[in-house]
């Protein structure tokens, strides 16, 4: 049976965006979900279908939003050992390794984190997100490791999504970048949009794009005559755009070590530590790790925070850098 939401606009909401009005009125509906429903012709204002999420509403407007029953999608199970840090009836916090995609997509439909979650517990995953993404509240890149949140029911999904929307989720990453950041700590604030040259990449937009804010600080600098200069940094996200840290560091001239999409090549050094050089060349992923995630639990309302150490491949490279100084 379809769920119908019926709202009447009060005078104090006159002129507000319709997607904002609905999500503020129904706290269990994220603005992103409301927007998608509107784009899929599920909204009527005064009995007329509206597909514009930013449409301004007027006093006494009759708002009707239809919420269809979730689609049942058949996804293959993937027998993959999940590194679960925490689990309860509402959510899972897990440590994703590099090399596995979050969800099925072009060229990878059967061996993703979603497929592994289906194998682990197919009956306890939210199903109000996109069809091929049960349980997925947010994403990190395939070749990024670290902590991700999984929703086990729809109410938890909505409440966690709202925290991401409101930028109240705490997300801290560690990375090694080329060179030294100047200043050593600060904020990068730009627009980010899809690249006009390569649709698989993102870029800083001068006039168009979504607002993106990355706070960073330098933890260590590795600098000597015989090696390239690198910095170990920490990034705290205020927003969560696609490839945000990678784009911001590239824009700043400090590409992330090992990033093969936002590439920086290093010159040969005659006296470079060969072990270090081989490790840099053989690194199969970007040196980027989602270290910390903090949020308000959707049921208990308690503050929760989890931290993950660097995985072995990154930790070995970091130790080699320290020894080369």
CATH number at residue 142: 3.30.2350.10
Sign of CA dihedral 255, 259, 264, 268: positive
Question: Rounded to whole angstroms, how far apart are CA atoms 111 and 101?
Answer: 8
Whole-Å CA distances, 194 to 108, 141, 203, 221: 22, 16, 6, 32
User: Do residues 136 and 159 share a domain?
Assistant: yes
Answer yes or no: is 72 within a domain.
no
User: Do residues 191 and 316 share a domain?
Assistant: yes
User: Do residues 137 and 202 share a domain?
Assistant: no
For residue 233, the model assigns a pLDDT of 98
Q: How far is CA 51 from the centre of its chain?
A: 26
User: Do residues 200 and 303 share a domain?
Assistant: yes
Answer yes or no: is 186 within a domain.
yes
Looking at 38, 67, 96, the residue that finishes a domain is: 67
Question: Rounded to whole angstroms, how far apart are CA atoms 137 and 208?
Answer: 26
User: Do residues 93 and 61 share a domain?
Assistant: no
* HSE toward the beta carbon, residue 214, CA cutoff 13 A: 27
Residues 244-257 pLDDT 10s: 999 999 999 999 99
For residue 164, the model assigns a pLDDT of 92
Answer yes or no: is 77 within a domain.
no
Beta strands in 79-121 (DSSP E): 84-87, 91-96
Answer yes or no: is 124 within a domain.
yes
User: Do residues 88 and 48 share a domain?
Assistant: no
User: Do residues 179 and 310 share a domain?
Assistant: yes
The H or E element spanning position 235 is strand 227-237
Looking at 141, 165, 189, the residue that finishes a domain is: 165
In this prediction, the residues of the chain whose per-residue pLDDT falls under 50 are none
Q: How many CB atoms lie within 10 A of CB 197?
A: 7
Answer yes or no: is 47 within a domain.
yes
Residue 16, both tokens: 């507000």
Answer yes or no: is 79 within a domain.
no
Q: Name the residue range of residue 21's domain.
A: 3-67
Which residues does the annotation mark as catalytic?
141
Asked if residue 104 lies in contact with residue 110, where contact means CB atoms within 8 angstroms, the answer is yes
For residue 277, the model assigns a pLDDT of 86
Q: What is the CA radius of gyration of the chain?
A: 22
User: Do residues 197 and 297 share a domain?
Assistant: yes
Asked if residue 144 lies in contact with residue 119, where contact means CB atoms within 8 angstroms, the answer is no
Residues 25-65 pLDDT 10s: 887 777 878 888 899 899 999 999 999 999 999 999 999 99
User: Do residues 319 and 181 share a domain?
Assistant: yes
User: Do residues 174 and 160 share a domain?
Assistant: no
User: Do residues 237 and 101 share a domain?
Assistant: no
Residue 177, both tokens: 């970048």
Residue 266, both tokens: 């290093």
Question: Rounded to whole angstroms, how far apart are CA atoms 139 and 295?
Answer: 15
Question: Rounded to whole angstroms, how far apart are CA atoms 201 and 247?
Answer: 9
- Count of domains for the chain: 3
Whole-Å CA distances, 162 to 31, 122, 149, 166, 194: 7, 24, 13, 6, 24
Residues 285-316 pLDDT 10s: 999 999 999 999 999 999 999 999 999 999 99
Looking at 67, 92, 117, the residue that finishes a domain is: 67
Phi, psi angles (nearest 5°) of residue 287:
-80, 80
Q: For residue 15, what is the domain's CATH number? A: 3.10.290.10
Question: Rounded to whole angstroms, how far apart are CA atoms 144 and 173?
Answer: 10
Answer yes or no: is 228 within a domain.
yes
**Looking at residue 56, what DSSP letter applies?**
B
User: Do residues 144 and 287 share a domain?
Assistant: no
Answer yes or no: is 158 within a domain.
yes
For residue 270, the model assigns a pLDDT of 65
């Amino acid at each position: 049976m379809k769920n119908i939401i019926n709202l009447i606009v009060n005078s104090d909401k006159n002129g507000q965006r319709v997607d904002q009005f609905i999500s503020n009125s129904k706290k269990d509906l994220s603005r992103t979900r409301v927007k998608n429903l509107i784009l899929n012709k599920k909204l009527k204002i005064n009995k007329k279908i509206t597909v514009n999420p930013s449409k301004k509403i007027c006093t006494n407007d009759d708002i009707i939003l239809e919420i269809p029953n979730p689609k049942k999608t058949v996804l293959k199970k993937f027998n993959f050992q999940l590194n679960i840090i925490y689990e309860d009836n509402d959510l899972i916090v897990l440590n994703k390794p590099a090399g596995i995609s979050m969800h099925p997509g072009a060229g990878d439909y059967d061996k993703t984190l979603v497929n592994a979650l289906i194998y682990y517990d197919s009956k306890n995953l939210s199903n109000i997100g996109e069809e091929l993404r049960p349980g997925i509240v947010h994403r990190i890149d395939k070749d990024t490791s670290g902590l991700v949140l999984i929703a086990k029911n729809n109410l938890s999904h909505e409440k966690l999504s709202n925290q991401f929307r409101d930028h109240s989720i705490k997300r801290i990453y560690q990375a090694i970048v080329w060179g030294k950041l100047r200043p050593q700590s600060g904020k990068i604030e730009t627009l980010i949009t899809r690249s006009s040259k390569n649709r698989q990449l993102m870029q800083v937009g001068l006039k168009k794009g979504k607002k993106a804010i990355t706070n960073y600080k330098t933890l260590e600098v590795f600098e000597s005559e015989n090696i390239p200069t690198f910095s170990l940094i920490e990034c705290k996200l205020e927003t969560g755009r696609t490839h945000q840290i990678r784009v911001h560091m590239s824009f700043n001239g400090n590409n992330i070590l090992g990033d093969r999409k936002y590439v920086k090549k290093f010159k040969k050094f005659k006296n470079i530590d060969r072990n270090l050089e081989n490790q840099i060349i053989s690194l199969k992923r970007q040196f980027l790790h989602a270290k910390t995630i903090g949020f308000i639990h959707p049921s208990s309302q308690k503050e929760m925070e989890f931290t993950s150490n660097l995985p072995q491949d990154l930790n070995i490279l970091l130790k080699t850098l320290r020894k080369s100084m």
